[in-house]
């Protein structure tokens, strides 16, 4: 027989909510760990007194009773697990696993029995239902009735509010009231918060971040009472999951965080964390409202009647003794600045992320605590607005994602090493090479892995450096591209930016310096536009590319699909075809794959013949040269007046006029130039009215073509 028995997907009912977890039976202890909250139930084997196997709503369940009076119930077992668990209990625990049947008669009268922390309602010695008395929040009595009210769990869609028991009067003992006796049995084990007696101690005007405000905190033996100007909260110690003591990044303040389940409520807002903020310089002298013998007997040396020290130390020490839970503090992690936390943003607020020994906690708005065991993987991502920061993403096994953004780039190495040391799964390991802390963020990298984002950043950095090193003449060449801004000897009369005299040259130079930054942006934009012009033009005369196997099948099956589905739309045809293609057998798909392969060979053969006949070269010769661009077509009767003009000439033209003739007229320095429609295209200068009277011809530097 194995030393341990372990079962997954075992459920525990907590105030009406089913939480799954993992149950392990070992020779020393029985351990159950809640997957949602991380809370651990540990039952020592010597304390185990009784075990029952029962049929419940989630299959089969097991009920364990201990000598200390605690009862633990776990559901979700299979019918086949009974024999295995029963043999293990006999061999290791010396306890018999008894089968207990539940009563399903549906009767509403029976016998109420109090068995430790449970109220069992039985019919014919078979339990109908059991009520954990720790879930009772209030007990009220009537003439012959007892009403039980229950704590509510916000995670449940449907919850039990109250139960009423009718207690008939008895004539056996006139001195005892059965209703009061029933109520006292309930109240003795119920989790009823009553501020009876004096508080153990009181802390005045403590600053609370969530819920926000200043509260007087009264420490009672079984609960914590927060009294503010507007709201009061009573928090039972049984709802406290964890305690955290976290130093602020400025090293002058401390956070004390109390994790709660179920959370406290303020209207519709739920607070899963109670966060107190303390100053390290604030001290206090504390006296407990108990005798020294009572303090020694109850707290066993953890507290003294008279204590003094920092305020945050006193609060954390008292809470640790009363709640009986350890206080979690940051481990060995140290950030770039030496602090034990990282400044970052979560959602819309800025806060601090603390890497702990067993998880991460973020404070303070909204607080987030993530345990390593519920983390699926982490991801390092660059910030969206700047390369000087990065984002840290955490994905949980439940599918939730938490993104902590705007983390300083210098923190990357420390955080990456911490995640590696904790053996968390990293989604993008190649990111470390691109984000190593270097003095020059654009320095060359010897890593083999290609990072497109980093390459683009390097390219933009080079462009900025070139812009900074460029002289005024380069800036002038950039500006001279625009019509009217060239430094000509004679400016046009409609040129509003023309220089009046040479004496204004200094002012122009200073103006160029003021416009230096916009000129840099223009360079970057123009470079992107140049890339767009390099897009490959479609060759109309080239053979069409072959279809894929799916498209060949779709073309042959389209009519059949229309016939089988009258009135089907075009989009529905594609959707239906996709479903049919997925259901197609492997043999059928191989048949269409063969047809697609034949079509591909035919295409390659036709393309080869097309290129040998000069089709590809003819097509490429029709492309425009890099220095030419098409003007918009003039909407006239005669189509021969549509042309291309070279940018080398157009940038000198101040105005473009279209006439009703078969040519275009352009003005250059008060000289009229005509471009004639006949081929080869030639350029006439010196105000020539027609081609016959032209004396001087100048060949156009680039081939002009009809549009």
Q: CA-based angle 317:320:322, to the nearest 5?
A: 110
Residues 161 and 177 in one domain: yes
pLDDT band at 368; cut points 50, 70, 90 = very high
Q: Is residue 550 a contact partner of residue 596, using CB atoms and an 8 Å limit?
A: no
Residue that the structure tokens 């607080």 belong to: 367
Asked if residue 632 and residue 616 are part of one domain, the reply reads no
pLDDT at 579 > cutoff 90: no
Helix axes 472-479, 516-533, angle to 10 degrees: 60
Cα–Cα distance for residue pair 324/72, rounded to 1 Å: 20
Contact 162, 139 (CB under 8 A): no
User: Which helix or strand (DSSP H or E) is residue 363 part of?
Assistant: strand 359-363
Residues 607 and 662 in one domain: no
Arithmetic mean of pLDDT, 597-616: 84
What is the CATH number for 207? 2.30.29.150
Query: What average pLDDT score do residues 286-294 get?
Result: 86
Residue 352 has pLDDT above 70, yes or no: yes
55 — phi, psi (to 5°)? -90, 125
Please say if the pLDDT value at position 362 is more than 90. Answer: yes
Instruction: Quote the CA–CA distance of 182 and 165 in Å, as a whole number.
Output: 10
Range of the domain at 402: 342-348+369-453
In a domain, 306, yes or no: yes
Cα–Cα distance between 675 and 643 in angstroms, integer?
Answer: 9
| Tokens representing residue 640 in the block | 């021969």
Instruction: List Cβ neighbours of 51 (8 Å cut-off, separation of 6 or more).
Output: 62, 63, 64, 65, 89, 93, 95, 96, 97, 98
Between 564 and 664, the more confident residue is 564
Please tell me whether the peptide bond between 511 and the residue prior to it is cis, using omega within 30 degrees of 0: no
pLDDT of residue 451: 55
Is residue 530 a part of any domain in this protein?
no
pLDDT in tens, 1-12: 577 888 988 998
Q: Which residue among 189, 213, 231 closes a domain? A: 189
What CATH number does the domain containing 180 carry?
A: 2.30.29.220
Q: What is the mean pLDDT of residues 140-162?
A: 83
- Residue at 357 is within a domain: no
Q: Tell whether 69 is covered by a domain.
A: yes
Is the separation of the CB atoms in 256 and 316 below 8 Å?
yes
Q: What is the DSSP letter of 95?
A: -
Residue 356 included in any domain: no
Which one-letter DSSP state was computed for residue 448?
Answer: S
Note whether 646 and 612 are same-domain residues: no
| Locus of tokens 């879930």 | 135
* Residues 568-587, mean pLDDT to the nearest whole number: 84
Average pLDDT of the residues of the chain:
74
Residue 458: per-residue pLDDT = 66
21 and 92 inside one domain? yes
Domain shared by 184 and 229, yes or no: no
Side by side, the strands of the sheet bearing 126-132 are: 111-115, 118-123, 126-132
Q: Are 522 and 478 in contact (CB under 8 A)?
A: yes
Q: 10 Å Cβ neighbour count for 416?
A: 19
| Residue 441 scores a pLDDT above 60 | no
Domain boundary among 165, 189, 213: 189
Alpha-carbon dihedral sign for residues 418, 419, 421, 422: positive
pLDDT-derived band at 193 (thresholds 50, 70, 90) equals: low
Q: Which of 246-260, 515-529, 635-649 has the highest mean pLDDT?
A: 246-260
Q: Are residues 641 and 688 in the same domain?
A: yes
Q: Is residue 574 part of a domain?
A: yes
Q: Is the peptide bond before 308 cis (omega within 30 degrees of 0)?
A: no
Classify residue 159: in a domain, yes or no: yes
The count of structural domains within the chain is 6
Q: How many residues does the chain have?
A: 707
φ/ψ (deg, to 5) at 331: -90, -130
Judge if 63 and 17 occupy the same domain. Answer: yes
CATH number for position 86: 2.30.29.30
The tens digit of pLDDT for each residue in 674-697 reads: 444 444 444 444 444 444 443 333
Which ranges of 534-564 would DSSP assign to H, the alpha helix? 549-564
Output the CA torsion sign for 260, 263, 264, 269: positive
Contacts of 72 by beta carbon, 8 Å cutoff, 6+ apart: 30, 32, 41, 43, 63, 64, 66
Helix (H) or strand (E) run with residue 658 in it: strand 655-658
Residue 605 CB partners (closer than 8 Å, separation 6+): none
Closest by CA position to 32, among listed 11, 60, 14, 18: 11
Residue 654 covered by a domain: yes
Q: What angle do CA 347, 352, 354 make, to 5 degrees?
A: 115
At 431, the pLDDT band (50, 70, 90 cuts) reads very low
pLDDT at 286 over 70: yes
Q: Are 184 and 274 members of one domain?
A: no
Omega before 388 within 30 of 0, i.e. cis: no
pLDDT band, residue 305 (cuts 50/70/90): confident
Q: Is pLDDT above 90 for 91?
A: no
Structure tokens at 705: 């073509």
Residue 513 has a pLDDT of 47
Do 679 and 614 reside in the same domain of the chain?
Answer: no
Q: Are residues 289 and 223 in the same domain?
A: yes
Contact criterion met (CB below 8 Å) for 227 and 215: yes
Same domain, 319 and 223: yes
Percentage with pLDDT > 90 across the chain: 13
Q: What is the DSSP letter of 281?
A: T
- The DSSP bridge partners found for residue 105 are none
Choose the final residue of a domain: 189, 221, 244.
Answer: 189
């Amino acid at each position: 027989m194995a030393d341990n028995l372990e079962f997954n997907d075992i459920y525990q009912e907590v105030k009406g909510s089913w939480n799954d977890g993992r149950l392990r039976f070992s020779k020393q202890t029985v351990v159950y760990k809640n997957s949602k909250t991380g809370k651990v139930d540990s039952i020592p084997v010597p304390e185990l007194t009784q075990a029952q196997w029962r049929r419940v709503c989630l299959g089969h369940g097991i009920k364990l009773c201990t000598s200390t009076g605690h009862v633990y119930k776990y559901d979700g077992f299979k019918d086949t697990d009974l024999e295995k668990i029963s043999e293990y209990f006999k061999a290791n625990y010396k306890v018999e696993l008894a089968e207990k049947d539940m009563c399903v008669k549906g009767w509403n009268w029976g016998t109420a029995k109090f068995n430790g922390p449970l109220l069992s309602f039985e019919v014919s010695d078979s339990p109908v239902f059991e009520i954990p008395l720790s879930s009772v929040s209030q007990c009220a009595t009537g003439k012959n009735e007892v009403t039980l009210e229950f704590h509510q769990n916000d995670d449940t869609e449907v919850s039990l509010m109250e139960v009423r028991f009718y207690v008939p009067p008895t004539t056996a003992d006139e001195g005892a009231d059965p209703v009061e006796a029933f109520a006292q049995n309930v109240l003795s084990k119920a989790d009823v918060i009553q501020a009876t007696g004096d508080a153990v101690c009181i802390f005045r005007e403590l600053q609370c971040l969530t819920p926000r405000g200043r509260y007087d905190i009264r420490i009672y033996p079984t609960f914590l009472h927060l009294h503010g100007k507007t709201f009061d909260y009573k928090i039972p110690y049984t709802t406290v999951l964890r305690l955290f003591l976290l130093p602020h990044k400025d090293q002058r303040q401390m956070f004390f965080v109390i994790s709660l389940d179920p959370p406290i409520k303020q209207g519709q807002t739920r607070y899963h964390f109670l966060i107190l903020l303390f100053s390290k310089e604030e001290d206090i002298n504390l006296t407990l409202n108990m005798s020294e013998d009572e303090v020694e007997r109850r707290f066993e040396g953890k507290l003294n009647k008279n204590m003094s020290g920092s305020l945050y130390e006193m609060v954390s020490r008292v809470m640790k003794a009363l709640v009986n839970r350890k206080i979690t503090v940051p481990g060995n992690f140290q950030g770039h600045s030496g602090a034990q936390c990282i400044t970052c943003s979560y959602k819309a607020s800025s806060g601090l992320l603390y890497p702990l020994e067993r998880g991460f906690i973020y404070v303070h708005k909204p607080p987030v605590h993530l345990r390593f065991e519920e983390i699926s993987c982490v991801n390092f991502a660059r910030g969206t607005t700047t390369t000087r920061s990065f984002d840290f993403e955490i994905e949980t096994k439940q599918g939730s994602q938490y993104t902590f953004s705007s983390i300083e780039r210098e923190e990357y190495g420390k955080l990456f090493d911490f995640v590696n040391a904790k053996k968390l799964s990293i989604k993008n390991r190649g990111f470390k090479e691109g984000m190593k802390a270097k003095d020059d963020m654009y320095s060359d990298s010897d890593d083999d892995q290609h990072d497109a984002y980093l390459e683009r950043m390097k390219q933009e950095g080079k462009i900025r450096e070139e812009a900074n090193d460029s002289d005024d003449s380069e800036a002038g060449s950039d500006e001279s591209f625009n019509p009217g801004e060239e430094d000509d000897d004679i400016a046009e009369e409609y040129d509003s930016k023309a220089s009046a005299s040479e004496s204004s040259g200094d002012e122009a130079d200073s103006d160029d310096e003021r416009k230096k930054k916009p000129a840099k942006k223009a360079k970057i934009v123009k470079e992107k536009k140049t890339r767009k012009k390099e897009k490959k033009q479609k060759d109309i005369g080239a053979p069409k590319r072959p279809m894929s196997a799916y498209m060949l099948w779709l073309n042959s099956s389209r009519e059949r699909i229309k016939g089988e589905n009258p009135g089907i739309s075009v989009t529905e045809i594609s959707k239906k075809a996709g479903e049919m293609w997925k259901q197609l057998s492997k043999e059928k798909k191989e048949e269409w794959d063969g047809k697609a392969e034949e079509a591909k060979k035919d295409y390659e053969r036709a393309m080869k013949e097309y290129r040998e006949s000069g089709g590809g070269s003819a097509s490429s010769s029709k492309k425009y040269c890099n220095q030419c661009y098409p003007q918009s077509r003039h909407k006239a009767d005669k189509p021969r007046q549509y042309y291309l003009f070279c940018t080398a000439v157009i940038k000198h033209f101040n105005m473009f006029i279209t006439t009703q003739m078969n040519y275009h007229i352009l003005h250059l320095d008060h000289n009229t130039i005509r471009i004639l429609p006949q081929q080869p295209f030639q350029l006439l200068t010196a105000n020539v009215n027609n081609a016959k009277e032209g004396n001087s011809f100048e060949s156009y530097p680039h081939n002009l073509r009809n549009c």
